[in-house]
Amino acid sequence: MTGAVDRALVVLSGGQDSTTCLYWAVDRFGRDNVSSITFDYGQRHRIELECARKVAAAAGVANVCLPIDTFAALGGDALTDASIAVSDETGEQSELPATFVPGRNLIFLTFAAAYAYRHDTRHLVTGVAQTDYSGYPDCREATIVALQEAISLGMDREFIMHTPLMHRSKKETVELAVRLGALDAMALTHTCYNGRRPPCGKCQACRLRARGFAEAGVRDPLLDTR
Amino acid sequence: MTGAVDRALVVLSGGQDSTTCLYWAVDRFGRDNVSSITFDYGQRHRIELECARKVAAAAGVANVCLPIDTFAALGGDALTDASIAVSDETGEQSELPATFVPGRNLIFLTFAAAYAYRHDTRHLVTGVAQTDYSGYPDCREATIVALQEAISLGMDREFIMHTPLMHRSKKETVELAVRLGALDAMALTHTCYNGRRPPCGKCQACRLRARGFAEAGVRDPLLDTR
């Protein structure tokens, strides 16, 4: 690295978790040293991209959106393929959920690193968590640790991946957002797997979010937006 | 894995090395268990995609081409950005070559794994090598080992990455191609960084290729095509 300043790049999806991470990064690295990256990978819910832009603006941080047309070409998952239904079951699942896009976070973080490489940035921040989640294997700590190694070796530069939410429950994530002054920005975020605004309240993502706010004893400002 | 058969997916660029690897995979896994994947990442030399298709057809193996529009959006390298000159210097280089696309092989292998995931395939074959090369860090064995771990964890499936050329010189790669019956297919491949056919003979890629054939005492069939 040429600069003495530590810069951070946040992978920002426009959801609750990555928004919390953006505010975490601003708190940790300083607003001027943080930027955010969003991926347009053909998600059915285009509103996510708009949410990411608004969240970044609210936080006073730059946001770049990079296209990835490959996932749609791969096909076969419920987040990019409108012909596959998103399950609203919350019961035990023996297989990966229909919303699993193989390698999605691996790809996001690798492209984020490629962007960071060109912008003198070595800290990458992602909102993945192994707690309270639906068994996405690319959200596990072991995956992120291995990927940090692969990317650092593959680009011959030491990247440091930060996962502030890795071991936090949804309740704890809401509490963190409150502490960081990120609560207002939650009104700008998007969570619902069914793309509804206000949220459908029935899909697994909505239920997890609602439970987190309820357990933290905080009113979700998203519910008061129209 | 549901099938008892071991299937392999070869990352096929249409160049000399990946073509040799395709024939290696056919020899190792059997033609019926091998397929190939090519990435259209906006490379300046569109001829590579055509070469990959022809090589796969010659080997009797399926070839799928997936788009990746992200590298072009990232910009800044000589392989996708026509405004950056490819150096034809072969001297010592203290920095990465202008043709370095950060994370390119990481991305290729991760998308290949995502495709393989959907097609009941766990063997991935790539033509990267740390010998005789220009210092691309994503071609090193340590990178591939770390990436295999990250991808296997991230997709919760045990992938095995094969790098038959990792420790082979260009001379040894030519000798391997001859042993595998891949020499004729070399006439269909593309190597030149300057996109010439017949090859320019002056860029680093052309020089490496020519030296390998010369040292192996084999006539490069590409030189006899027009």
Separation of alpha carbons B121 and B165, rounded Å: 21
* Chain A positions with Cβ closer than 8 Å to B: 66-71, 73-74, 76, 96, 101-103, 105-107, 110-111, 113-115, 117-118, 137-138, 140, 142-143, 146-147, 149-151, 153-156
- Closest residue to A73, CB basis, from B67, B70, B96: B67
Enclosing domain of residue B110: 8-85+96-190
User: Is residue B150, in this structure, part of any structural domain at all?
Assistant: yes
A96:B67 CB<8 A: no
User: Is residue B196, in this structure, part of any structural domain at all?
Assistant: no
Q: How many CA atoms lie within 13 A of B65 on its CB side?
A: 15
* Residue bearing tokens 């259209």: B40
- Closest residue to A118, CB basis, from B69, B74, B149: B74
Q: What percent of chain A is predicted at pLDDT more than 70?
A: 85
- The 3-state DSSP class for residue B97 equals coil
User: Is residue B220, in this structure, part of any structural domain at all?
Assistant: no
Task: Please give the ipTM for the structure prediction.
Answer: 0.89
User: Is residue B224, in this structure, part of any structural domain at all?
Assistant: no
Task: Chain B: give the shortest CA distance to residue A198, in Å.
Answer: 32
User: Is residue A1, in this structure, part of any structural domain at all?
Assistant: no
A155:B138 CB<8 A: yes
CA separation (Å) from B174 to B182, B210, B213? 9, 10, 6
B149:A154 CB<8 A: no
User: Is residue A186, in this structure, part of any structural domain at all?
Assistant: no
Residue B210 — φ and ψ, nearest 5°? -60, -40
Q: Best of A155, A158, A161 to disrupt the B interface by mutation (most B CBs within 10 Å)?
A: A155
pTM of the model: 0.90
Q: B136 is written with which tokens?
A: 């691309």
CATH number of the domain where residue A132 is located = 3.40.50.620
CA A18 centroid distance within chain:
4
Residue B32 — φ and ψ, nearest 5°? -70, -15
Helices and strands (H, E) in chain B, number of each type: 7, 5
* Whether residue A132 has pLDDT greater than 70: no
* Whether residue B152 has pLDDT greater than 60: yes
* Residue bearing tokens 């079951």: A89
Q: B96 is written with which tokens?
A: 């990465």
Order of strands across the sheet that contains A123-125: A62-67, A34-40, A8-11, A123-125, A160-162
Residues contacting residue B32 through CB under 8 Å, at least 6 positions apart: none
- Closest residue to A154, CB basis, from B76, B137, B155: B137
User: Is residue A66, in this structure, part of any structural domain at all?
Assistant: yes
pLDDT band for position B90 (cuts 50, 70, 90): very low
Count of domains in chain A?
1
Window from A80-84, A122-126, B64-68, B199-203 with minimum mean pLDDT = A80-84
- The 3-state DSSP class for residue B57 equals helix
pLDDT band for position B182 (cuts 50, 70, 90): very high
Q: Is the sign of the CA dihedral A130, A135, A139, A142 positive or negative?
A: positive
At residue A212's C-alpha, the angle toward residues A145 and A62, to 5°, is: 60
Separation of alpha carbons A170 and A133, rounded Å: 9
